[in-house]
Amino acid sequence: MESSTWGQDSRSLLWWAVKKGSENAALNIEKAERIQEVFSQLAAGVSEVRREFSSVAGADVAYHGETAAAAVVLLEYPSLKLLETVSAPMEARIPYSPSFLGFREAPLIHHVVRRLSHEPDLVLVDGHGRAHPRLFGLACHVGVMLNTPTVGVAKSLLAGREVDDRVVDEEGRALGYVLKREGKRPLYVSVGYKITLDDAFRVVQGCTINSSPEPLKLAHQEANRLGATLQR
């Protein structure tokens, strides 16, 4: 499928699917699983073009009571100079459910990324991409909604197993890379949307300072800062 057509149609379709997957603020697991399976197959067919990136964003969501604080930071790449920060308090309408974080957080991340003055070349997401039971984690949701390259960076395994520096499925196919960190738990890097796995890992490595991807660290700090103001 041509990527331009897929990008426009998929954004509208996924928004509709997210609404169908949730009813009365509760997640319909059967519908949600089917949505992820279908979109995983469609998104996998989008062309992966190796390219250079001049900007990279990091997105994260923190929770304070019933309110979600979503944040995005935009950095120049590879200098990692901070260009812009956007955050906003919002209602998380769908409860947390393992492997369905995309339904809860992707609309929140979409909102703050769209408020940036400049569109990022790439978005790092605090969550899984295709290293996911149905190959469609939070970073995939975000990428399709934005029609922007995304990478998932997660703190724990949700699918697959570690073999050396990779995460592989039952058939030995690569789902992601393991970013090993001295004195800290590893991070699991996987494709979200419109990027190759090798490029995804290269950019995450290029963004890492003192064992932490700088865009995600700054986004996390901003989300927590906003959340703290909401509790006053």
Dist. CA 19–CA 21, nearest whole Å: 5
The count of domains in the chain is 1
pLDDT in tens, 85-139: 999 999 888 888 889 999 999 999 999 999 999 999 999 999 999 999 999 999 9
Looking up residue 207, the CATH number of its domain turns out to be 3.30.2170.10
Dist. CA 196–CA 194, nearest whole Å: 7
pLDDT in tens, 22-48: 444 567 888 889 889 988 987 886 766
Express as a percent the part of the chain with pLDDT over 70. 86
What is the predicted pLDDT for the residue at 2? 38
Q: What is this structure's pTM?
A: 0.90
What is the predicted pLDDT for the residue at 11? 58
- Domain enclosing residue 79, as ranges: 3-230
- Contact, 144 vs 43, CB < 8 A? yes
